[in-house]
Every structure is written in structure tokens, then in C-alpha cells.
Amino acid sequence: MKTGVLALQGSFYDHVQSLEFIDQDYVLIKDTSDLSHVNSLILPGGESTSMIKIQENNDLFSELKKLIESGIPTLGTCAGLILLAKDVIDGETSLGVLNTVVERNAYGRQNQSFEGLVNLLGNKEMYCFIRAPKILSYEDSVTPIATIDNEVVGVIENNIVGLSFHPELTNDKNYLDWLSNFIKDGVNVRSL
């Protein structure tokens, strides 16, 4: 089985590199025909509005939503988090499968991007925030898994993980170990 990496726009090749580091087969998803034999998903950073527009004349997002709701492990980083969120401030809700409210570009414009020390499941690493969305609120069914300066920047709900930052740009050992467990086995989601 393969991990499907949404490849409409954005940092999908960086996620491919992460998958290569953990010896995970993958397929780049550009339309619904790419979804067969996919048992996990990664929705990359990039420009959520562009991704929504690129796929608007086909059924890709409705098919992705069905896959996610079927329970397959799904990771969304930055714009991927925006695509997953139930409600988006200053943006459009698309998949709406993660019970969070996020605000697009809440940490600032491109020139205000930064690196910060993130506590991801008890391990601290430097990660990049590039025009990152902010998690404003979340339902009781959602559990925080990452913080920066006591602010929640990563959450999990069942099979779905949403991160405001880009762990695929760092590919530290803790992240890759977690990714391997999450994507390959769908287990150990809350532990590194």
C-alpha cells in the first residue's frame, strides 16, 4: 500500500523525501485516478486557495474526504491543516474533517516566516512556520500534540493530524520515527 501525497501545488516533494527516508512507497495525487491503493494521506503546505481552485472541476476533494472519513492516517501541514479544518477564518473551508477553527496566514506574511522551538509530543525541535495558519480553537474530540510558547500548533483527532508548521523541512529523527509509525502502521499516534 502507498501513501498518497496531494500534489496540486506546494511542498509535496519535501514530504516525498520524508517518505523516502522511512522507505515508504508513495503516489503523487493529482486527480481521483491516483487514489487507488492509497492507505494513508499527506496534505502538504502551499497555498490552500490555489489547491482548492485547481481541483474545483473534479471530484478529488470529495473522494479525499471519503478516504479520510474511512479512517486512514492523514497528515496535513500548514495549508494541509487549512484544507482539513472545519472552519477557516480569512479563507475557504474545503474538506472540513478536523474539528478546529484556523486562521490563514495568522503568523504573518511570507517575510514574517520564522523558525521556532516546537514541543511535538514531548520532543523539542526547531521547525519552520511559513505563512502559517493559527489554530484558534478546537472541539473536545481534538487533542493538542504540539505547542510553541504554550500556543497549540498541532492537533490530532482520531486518524487526522494537523500541524501549523513544516516538519518535512527538518526531517529530524523524532519526526521520522513518528511518521513511520503513523503512516505505515496507523499506530503510536500520540507517542514518539
Q: Please list the active-site residues.
A: 78, 166, 168
- Show the CA angle centred on residue 18, arms to residues 13 and 21, nearest 5°: 125
**Rounded Cα distance, 162 and 155, in Å:** 5
Helix, strand, coil percent content, the chain, rounded in steps of 5: 30, 35, 35
End-to-end CA distance of the chain: 23
Q: How many CA atoms lie within 13 A of 130 on its CB side?
A: 17
